[in-house]
Every structure is written in C-alpha cells, then in structure tokens.
Amino acid sequence: MTTQQPVNDTISTEIQNGVGLICIDNPPVNACGQAVRAGLLEALDQLNNNDAVQVIALYAAGRTFVAGADIREFGKPPMEPGLPDVCDQLEASTKPLVSVLHGTTLGGGLEIALATHARVGITGLRVGLPEVLLGILPGAGGTQRTPRLTGIPAALDMILSGRQVPVEEALKLGLVDVISDATPRDAALAAGQDVIAGKLQIRRTGELSVTPDDAAIGAAKAKAKPLLFNPPRIIEAIAASTGPLAEGQALERKLFWDCLNSDQSAGLRHAFFAERAVAKVPEAREAPRPVDSMGVIGGGTMGSGIATSALLAGMEVTLIEVAQEALDRGVGTITKNLQGAVKRGKLAAEQLDPTLAKLTTSTDMQSLATVDLVVEAVFENMDVKKEIFTNLDRICKPGAVLASNTSYLDINEIAAVTNRPSDVLGLHFFSPAHVMRLLEIVVADKTAPDVVATGFALAKRMRKIGVRAGVCDGFIGNRILSHYLKVTTYMLMDGASPEQIDKALEGFGFAMGPFRVSDLAGIDIGWAERKRKAPMRPAAERYVPIADKIAEQGWFGRKTGQGYYVYGADGPYPNPAALEIVDQERAAAGVSPREFTDQEIVDRYMTAMISEAARVVEDGIALRPIDVDAVYLFGYGFPRFRGGPLHYADSIGAAELIKRIETYAKEDSHYWQVPDILRKMAADGSKFSDLNK
C-alpha cells in the first residue's frame, strides 16, 4: 500500500494491491489542459514501468471526471502534448487501463475514456461529445472510437446533436461497461481488482471493427442543415470509422482543423463565451439580496411564464390579478407550462404537484407584503405601471426588490413614484418566459448595486442569461429591433415582397424572417407600439404605413388567420389581400417598385441592425459589444453560428459598413447615419472585439 504521489499540480498516483491509480484533480471541472495532459502521460509511463502494478485505473477528484477542454486555451497556439496523442498513448498502455467516469464527462474527457480499455460509470453520470455546438468536431478520436463501441447510428446521433447521454443509456450503447454506486476512487480500486480477477473484460477500442451503415450516413446527410459547416464533416469522419483507426484519425484531424479555422466556429465560440462574459458586471462584487419568494403581478402569457420560471427555480410565488377569473386562467396556463416541463424532462413527474403547491394566488396586492421580490408584468401603459408601483411602495417590506417587466418604458420614471428608487430595476423577460433564456436587467439611475447583483443572481437561479442594460426606449434588444425593422418596411415599399425578405433572411440563418415573426407575435403588437411613439416621430423620418393598414383590417397574423400570410389548412402562403395593400400604398406614395437581390436584402437588414447596435454601445446602454451579441443570440433568434450582430460586424469591417451606410444615405439621409464609433474604428483599425477585453 502506498500514499498518493504527486506527478504535477493536477495528477497524482498511488498503488494498492496491484492496482495503480491515477487521479486527476484540476478544479473546478478537471478540464484537460496542458498540465493534465502532460501529467497523464508521465503517470502512465511510471505505472507501466512499475513491477508492482498489474492494472491501471484512472479516476478524478471533485464533482466530475474531465468535463472537456480547458477554455483558457481556446484561441491560443496548441501546447504539447496534444489530446489525440495522449489518447493514443492511453490506448497503447502495456498494462490494462480502466477509467471511472462520474459527473458530466464531455468532449475531450469522454475521448480520454474511450481510449481506455474498459469504463465504469458512476450513478448519475452523463456523457457527451458537444463539439458540434462550437462549430468543430471531436478531434481526439471521438468520431472513430465512438462508433466502434456504439455503431454508426448511435454515434451520429450523439455527435451531431451534442446531447448528454445518461449513464443507463451509455451502458446500453456500450460506452460504459458497468455502473457503480461507489465513490470514484473506490470504484477505480474495485474495477482494477475485477480486471485482475478476469471479471471485467478488457479490450482496445481502436481494434474493434465498425459495420458500415450507408443508410444511416445517407439519412444524416439529408437531415443536416445546409447552412452549417461542421455537420457534413462530422458525418464524413464517422463514415471513415469503418477503416483502420489511424486512417480515420488522420481524416478526423484534417476535418477538425478545417472546422476550427472556419468563420462559423469562431462565431459559435464567441457565442459560448458571450454566455459567460455578460455576468461580469461592475455590480457583481456586491452580495445579492436573498430572494426565496416572488410576487408576480399579471396572470397573462408573460406573467404566467415568469411565475412558471420562478416555480421551476424552487421559489414560492404569489400571483396577483384583478379578478378571480383572470387568476384561474393564469393558474391554468402555469399548470400547462409545468406539465410541458415534465414532458420535456425539465421537471420530474413526481415534482409537479409539490412545485404547484408553491403557488398562491390573490386579487389583493396586500398579499405581497412579505415577498422578497415583485415583478410587475401588466401591459405597456405607463400610468398603470405607476399606479402599481405607488401601491407596491406602500405594501412591500423594506428591502424588497421592485421590478418591472416593461419592454420599452422608462424605469427611471417608474422608480420616481416610489420612496425607494434604489430598490427598483427592470427585469425584461422574453416570451415565453419559462422557455426563453434571455433576461435584460435594466439598471435605472438610482438602482442600488446590490439590487443589480440580485437581478443577476435571479437570472442564474432561473437558468437564464442575464444581460445588463441601461435605460432608453427599448433598452438593448427592442431599441435595435425598432430601428432595423424600419428597413424591412422601406424595402417592402420599394419593391421587395414579404416572402422574398423572409426567405433571404432565413437563408442567412434566421429561423424565421421578420414578416413571419410579426405574424407570429401579432401585427397588433407593433401597431400599438408605433401609435405610442407617433407623437415622438421626427418630421424627417420616412414612415411606411403598410403594417398599420393591414392591422386596421383586423388582420393580426396567426391569431386571426391572416396577416402578411394566410394561415389554415393550405397555409401559410402570401396573403393576396395584404399584397394589394402594399400595391396601393406604393401607388399612393408614387413609388415605382424595383427589384432587390437576396444579398442586398441581407446587407441592408444587417447594416441597419449593426448601426443601431453600435450606437447602443456608443451610448453606454450596453456595457460591451458582447452584451449586444448575447441579447440577440439568446432573445432574438440571431444565427448562433454568426456569433451575434457585432461579432458579424467585425467580419465585414468598419470601412465597408461606412461605405454601405453612405451609399444608402443617398436615398434617406435621416435613417442612414454613420455611428461615430464606426468612424473611429475605420480610422484606427480597431474592432468591436477590442472593446470586449
């Protein structure tokens, strides 16, 4: 028996009864950085050359086996030894090598395990190869060893989806050989003894054969999204697993580097980092206020979604409505939402009733006297919101956080009706609130730093992406949206059709074009917003009334059966009556329609979006460009592989954007104006990415 002997700061070894143990200890998630990789090879060499060792068992300390690559190495030159070489040397171990997996064993961690000669999964383990989500593919043998254990169809499913596979399924697929309830170290010792006793089968994964499956490969190719770069290369790599391991690995590495060097991988990695970067705000150093109970005012779609999200986060929720009938509808919506969460695996079936039991309802706002945080989620009317906050100021306990879910309205004006403006902030959820991940945390002039920190803590608890926003009409997301949607109406008036605009932008990567989105959200929503802003509309602004004319007919989109499109058994298809309105408005404005190419549509749309996004950064409404990107990635369906509007802007370049804007300004100098920040970038060669550092 020996004690643990350190190999380096992350790897140690010990020997017990013929079993040589290798322990990975690189908190918090045992990422396979350079020290881990080098330490593994040194430990392997030591134990292979020790006569007291009959079998080697690899495990990890902490909450998980290796959870993937070290993100601190992303974008930097590779450091030796590389993970493919480490995996190959693990598989080539002269002594039997077994690994014990627990927690979330992902990416490079699973590739390490696949290279060992047997695998033990600890109860609760989840495994996966999520590289597809970063625009790359498993590059250390994952596309070659996985199908050798699971077969081609299962490997395609795992690697193309990036999903996490629970241990029970991993056992059925052959990814693990046995499930254990022991601790990782005890399981490693037991597995080593089982190998010595011949109870646990040892085999080198690379020596296993793969049965060709042309049908599965063909089906995967047919299903792959045509815009995405890496799925076809993943399929090509997996298809090569039927040949010798070395040949498949050589192709895998080539395809890995092709993917890593692609614009799409850069965009997806930017999106990955955006999710983490947005939490780094000045107020993060403050301790958040405790929030265990929440009040939600308004039981409509938004309020019910917010209440659902809070219940799923384990909070006590009090729902307030003006009438019992409205409360009953709200409870019905919340119940349906939670039942949906059970179907999606987000909530255990046995937790449905206990979760619902945390919901109380009332028509009396006095019921909010003891809650820690209140979210007002009524319709967008400043007078109504002011009345609510005046009452909350009187009712709520000292220190309670008072939040408005407003999409556009001035949080400073709302806070001013209270005697505690430091407790007030905006929490702009996105619909459906229990599904959408974005939460704009709107900081008013007098919002206390610990209240901001509380907003971010709430976002984390609700598993949402919190983004800090300043106060202006529409904050980050809707301010930009209000600007660039105008260019779609200009192109519509000038000759493009709703269908062409939608298809061009869907071809760029958006799941739905702007006119389909308008029909889905309700044309009446935008109509109401335009009427609210009408008194503030500058005289020089070009205004296109087509959407208003369609709304005046009572055609609000899907909910009324028609809008820009007709919905029904044969739909959706372009609405001929809406197109007649377009023709009438063109004639009334004296516009001779012209042709637009799809590329011109995309260029104008994206240039308009980038222009206003740049001004949002310039004005300090967003802390950094990456915050804008996060808002659009997680709240507005921006194509993830393009990284966000300002990441995409860097790929165009400031000089080209200025050239476009100045060209378009010959038609409309009021709308098309060059942001000062772009002129500065063009002058000094800087990029938006520089402002994220």
Q: 3-state secondary structure string, 590-616?
A: CCCCCCCCHHHHHHHHHHHHHHHHHHH
Residue for token digits 């990890």? 60
Q: d(Cα 365, Cα 396) in Å, to the nearest integer?
A: 9
**C-beta atoms surrounding 349 within 10 Å:** 10
For residues 185 and 44, give the distance between their C-alpha atoms in angstroms, rounded to a whole number. Answer: 17
Nearest-5° angle of CA 294, CA 467, CA 132? 110
Read off the pLDDT band of 252 (50, 70, 90). very high
- pLDDT tens per residue, range 117-163: 999 999 999 999 999 999 999 999 999 999 999 999 999 999 999 99
Is the per-residue pLDDT at 1 higher than 60? no
Is the C-alpha dihedral spanning 311, 315, 316, 320 positive or negative? negative
Superfamily of domain 1-125+176-206: 2-enoyl-CoA Hydratase; Chain A, domain 1 (3.90.226.10)
pLDDT band at 22 (very low <50, low <70, confident <90, very high): very high
Out of 91, 252, 321, 440, which one is annotated catalytic? 440
Any residues with CB less than 8 A from the CB of 402 and at least 6 apart, and which?
Answer: 373, 374, 376, 389, 392, 393, 396, 418, 420, 423, 424, 425
Which stretches within 49-183 are classed as H helix?
83-91, 108-114, 142-150, 152-161, 167-173
Q: What is the mean pLDDT of residues 649-664?
A: 98
Q: How much helix, strand and coil, in percent to the nearest 5, is found in the chain?
A: 50, 10, 35
Mean pLDDT of 287-297: 98
Domain boundaries, the chain: 1-125+176-206, 284-471, 478-692
Helix (H, G, I), strand (E, B) or coil at 637: coil
pLDDT of residue 2: 67
Q: Residue 48: which pLDDT band, with cuts at 50, 70 and 90?
A: very high
Is residue 372 within 8 Å of residue 342, measured between CB atoms?
A: no
Beta strands in 561-692 (DSSP E): 565-566, 573-574
The chain-wide mean pLDDT, for the chain, equals 96
H or E segment and range at residue 391: helix 382-395
Residue 333 tokens read as: 């919506």
Helix (H, G, I), strand (E, B) or coil at 636: coil
Catalytic residue among 12, 30, 405, 478: 478
Render pLDDT for 65-96 as a digit per residue (tens, 0 to 9).
999 988 778 777 889 999 999 999 999 999 99
Measured between alpha carbons, how far is residue 118 from residues 207, 477, 693 in Å? 13, 50, 44
**Cβ neighbours of 290 (radius 10 Å):** 11
The CATH architecture annotation of domain 284-471 reads 3-Layer(aba) Sandwich (3.40)
Task: Report d(CA 319, CA 326) in Å as an integer.
Answer: 11
Q: Which helix (H) or strand (E) holds 660?
A: helix 654-664
Residue 13 pLDDT > 60: yes
Catalytic residue among 12, 337, 407, 611: 407
**Contact by Cβ (8 Å): 61, 32:** no
Provide the β-strand partners of residue 120: 100, 178
Average pLDDT of 106-124? Answer: 98
- DSSP characters over 223-292: HS-TT-SHHHHHHHHHHGGGS-HHHHHHHHHHHHHHHHTSHHHHHHHHHHHHHHHTT--GGGGSPPPP--
Pair 439, 427: CB distance under 8 Å: yes
Choosing from 102, 117, 270, 428, the catalytic residue is 428
Going by C-alpha positions, the residue among 310, 528, 557, 299 that lies closest to residue 407 is 528
Average pLDDT over residues 167-185: 98
Report residue 602's pLDDT band, with 50, 70 and 90 as the boundaries: very high
Give 510-523 pLDDT, tens digit per residue.
999 999 999 998 99
What is the Cα–Cα distance from 87 to 85, expressed in whole angstroms?
A: 5
Provide DSSP, 29-66: TT---HHHHHHHHHHHHHHHT-TT-SEEEEEE-TT-S-
Model's pTM, two decimal places?
0.92
Active site residue 499: no
Per-position DSSP letters for 443-508, written without gaps between them: --TT--HHHHHHHHHHHHHTT-EEEEE-SSTTTTHHHHHHHHHHHHHHHHHHT--HHHHHHHHHHH
Query: Does residue 478 have an active-site annotation?
Result: yes
d(CA 539, CA 626): 34
Q: Which two tokens stand for residue 290?
A: 């405790």
Instruction: Give 499-538 as a DSSP string.
Output: HHHHHHHHHHT-SS-HHHHHHHH-HHHHHHHHHHHGGG--
Q: What is the pLDDT of residues 428-468, one digit of tens each?
A: 999 899 999 999 999 999 999 999 999 999 999 999 999 99
CA–CA separation, 459 and 619 (whole Å): 25
Q: What is the mean pLDDT of residues 246-250?
A: 97
DSSP code of residue 116? S
Q: How many CB atoms lie within 10 A of CB 534?
A: 10
**258: nearest Cα among 233, 227, 221:** 233
Cα-flanking dihedrals φ and ψ of residue 5, to 5°? -115, 120
Angle at 150 between CA 149 and CA 152, to 5 degrees: 115
Cis amide leading into 28 (omega within 30):
yes
Q: Residue 48 has which token pair? A: 């292979």
For the chain, give the percent of residues with pLDDT over 70.
Answer: 100
pLDDT at 570 (0 to 100): 84
Q: Residue 429 to residues 200, 406, 432, 434, 556: CA-CA distances in angstroms?
A: 52, 9, 8, 9, 23
Peptide bond into 6 cis (omega under 30): no
Distance CA 651, CA 152 (A): 37
Please report, for the chain, how many H helices and E strands are present, in that order. Answer: 28, 20
E strands, 322-372, in order? 359-362
The answer, yes or no, to whether residue 165 has pLDDT greater than 80, is yes
Q: Residue 498's pLDDT band (boundaries 50, 70, 90)?
A: very high
Q: What are phi and psi of 70, to 5 degrees?
A: -85, 110
pLDDT of residue 290: 97
Strand blocks (E) in 650-690: none
C-alpha–C-alpha distance, residues 246 and 242, integer Å? 11
Contact 454, 423 (CB under 8 A): no
Architecture of domain 478-692: Orthogonal Bundle (1.10)
Burial 417-440 (b: 16+ CB within 10 A, else e): bbebbebbbbbbbbebbbebbbbb
> Are the C-beta atoms of 39 and 5 separated by less than 8 Å?
no
